[in-house]
Structure 1
Amino acid sequence: MIRNLYAAMPEDLDEEHFDALARSEDVTIERIVSRGHSSPASGWYDQPQHEWVVVLQGEAVIAFDSGDEVALGPGDHLTIPAHCRHRVAWTAPEQTTLWLAVHYRA
């Protein structure tokens, strides 16, 4: 079955929206939809798996526990190693930010 990443994006977002697109024991691929969302100030992600993420539309900033920040726009991607503490510091409030994230075993 063919599906479209840009189809059926939620309009009213009280919080980020996550859709698992494919999942196995070693890999999870998900679509994330944000609009002005960020992680809670005390909410660092510390994941046991690596994460590769790409912004397909919109803008975002990822902050790291080290103090570094990375701004992402359409087409920008990065790999976040397992147990690298990070959070979403900002997503564009006036537009939808569409992410594709691939989580894979360390």
Structure 2
Amino acid sequence: MQIASGNLLTGLPPASSEEVFELLHQRAGLTIERIVSRGQASPPGFWYDNPQEEWVLLLSGSAGLTLEGASAEHVMQAGAWLHIPAHRRHRIEWTDGAQPTIWLAIHHDPGADVAA
């Protein structure tokens, strides 16, 4: 098996009007990606509804997320993580526009043994 390595905080893509998703690792039932946001938010009325569970870690910057049914916006700062169950609708209300917001996102099938 080939060894892969990198640094999630370096080699950032140039500023863009779109979030940048970079695939880091993928196998059956599991996807790991780096997401770089620079002031982006979900479009009005748009909700993510992922079939996989999602675990996100905010490495830098900040963001506000709304989880459907939650009473308040979930504000994240560097070091914060969040587990979003499959099909839990959510949206990104805002991301830091003054610095890159860097996410590590792990998507996995519900109930899958991802440690194997």
In the superposition, the TM-score normalised over structure 2's length comes to: 0.87
- Whether 1:86 and 2:90 are equivalent positions in the alignment is yes
Structure whose CA Rg is larger: 2
Aligned length: 106
Deviating above 6 A after TM superposition, structure 1's stretches of 4 or more consecutive aligned residues are none
List per-residue Cα deviations over 1:25-44 (Å, max 9, x = no partner).
Answer: 11100000001000111210
The 3-state SS of whatever aligns with 1:29 is: strand
Residue type of the alignment partner of 1:18: F
- Whether 1:42 and 2:65 are equivalent positions in the alignment is no
Q: In 2, distance between residues paired with 1:85 and 1:11? A: 29
Corresponding residue for 2:56?
53
Residue type of the alignment partner of 1:10: P
Instruction: Looking at secondary structure, tell me which structure has more strand per residue.
Output: 1
CA apart distance, 1:6: 1.5
Q: Which runs of 5+ in 1 are unaligned?
A: none
CA apart distance, 1:2: 2.5
CA apart distance, 1:11: 2.2
Q: In 2, distance between residues paired with 1:73 and 1:12? A: 20
- Whether 1:101 and 2:105 are equivalent positions in the alignment is yes
- Contact 2:15 2:38 (8 Å CA) reproduced: no
Q: Which runs of 5+ in 2 are unaligned?
A: 111-116
> What's the C-alpha RMSD, in Å, of the aligned pairs?
1.0
The 3-state SS of whatever aligns with 1:101 is: strand
CA apart distance, 1:103: 0.3
Corresponding residue for 2:15?
12
> Percent of aligned positions with the same letter in both sequences?
44
Residue type of the alignment partner of 1:78: L
